[in-house]
Structure 1
């Protein structure tokens, strides 16, 4: 079985895991027609600032970061992504406007990409339709929690929450990215980790 096939098997498994509707063989063939497999090397981009996001991606293998760059050239990490996560700039994708973000591979990454038109076509697949509704709801909750944590919790509690909810982040991403994601300095993160 080739890598491309493995990526689709991971996607099928993910959809069925997060839906009460099974995928038929026709559904799977339909999905294969709408998604495009792509390999993105470490430090290569899925999306660059100023581009219009044309695809939503499903990560079958690898890790990515979404960030903006401020006037001083500092990266501000907005999101971190691992396997079985969806990646895109929703505002750019849905509004067809240039993104203010970069989405970059932190390690060699395999991704299945689907266009906005493809996503609309995918609503014909009951399992995918159910999945997207659940993802939209979960995304809203996650963003609300992330903003609340950023403005109301001290650094050590933000770190502890990340450790509880996404322990793999701490293994897969370098400290400077974790610090940026938490909105703290590398030095503060280092002090917190030493206290553990």
Structure 2
């Protein structure tokens, strides 16, 4: 995000927080949802279904913003867990930044464009989860998060892809073998 200072001027209540790996920022049911800008570290959002199975919604490395958008937009209790996968430095925003009076038209346009790009990526991911083979989902993961395979456990990548860790291991082996051929 090229203009973090602009955002901090728009929301003077924003705070910087240093949080350890494993810290849970938000639980399902929380009623005061916030946005988190990842200045350093790695954060994820996920749910745990009624059978106790974890489903990762997204990862947020440096420069990304993560939030429970439905909770923020509709003032509903949150549905997502948000936690730190690494020691992280976050900027926490409590306000709807773009609705503030002192936001320039250019800033609204710039961040609306970013929002649409992220929504497009999310739409693509949902469609891929419904219909694409695991190899295509994995390639999309690598395209979206090129630095993450070295930073997170394989089981989390598998969870994000909707496959088992064993299936991911098999997929990675086949991909490595096809590159050698």
Equivalent residues in 2 for 1:173-184, closer than 5 Å: 173-184=152-163
If the length of structure 2 is used for normalisation, what is the TM-score? 0.87
Partner of 1:15: 3
Equivalent residues in 2 for 1:85-164, closer than 5 Å: 85-121=64-100, 124-164=103-143
Larger helix proportion, structure 1 or 2?
1
Quick one: distance in 1 between partners of 2:128 and 2:97? Answer: 35
Quick one: distance in 1 between partners of 2:33 and 2:60? Answer: 18
| Deviations 1:68-122, CA, capped at 9 Å, x for gaps | 0011211111111100000100100111111111001001111111123444227
Query: 1:138 deviation in Å?
Result: 1.0
- CA gap of 1:38–1:119, structure 2 versus 1, over 3 A, is farther
> Are the counterparts in 2 of residues 41 and 107 from structure 1 also a CA contact under 8 Å?
yes
Partner of 2:179: none
Number of paired residues? 175
> Are the counterparts in 2 of residues 61 and 111 from structure 1 also a CA contact under 8 Å?
yes
> Are the counterparts in 2 of residues 35 and 113 from structure 1 also a CA contact under 8 Å?
yes
Q: Per the alignment, in what secondary structure is the counterpart of residue 65 of structure 1?
A: strand
Q: Per the alignment, in what secondary structure is the counterpart of residue 191 of structure 1?
A: helix
> Are the counterparts in 1 of residues 44 and 83 from structure 2 also a CA contact under 8 Å?
yes
Quick one: distance in 2 between partners of 1:82 and 1:179? Answer: 18
Query: 1:60 deviation in Å?
Result: 0.4
Question: Does residue 166 of structure 1 match 2:154?
Answer: no
If the length of structure 1 is used for normalisation, what is the TM-score? 0.80
Quick one: distance in 1 between partners of 2:137 and 2:24? Answer: 28
> Are the counterparts in 2 of residues 93 and 116 from structure 1 also a CA contact under 8 Å?
no
RMSD (Å), alpha carbons? 2.1
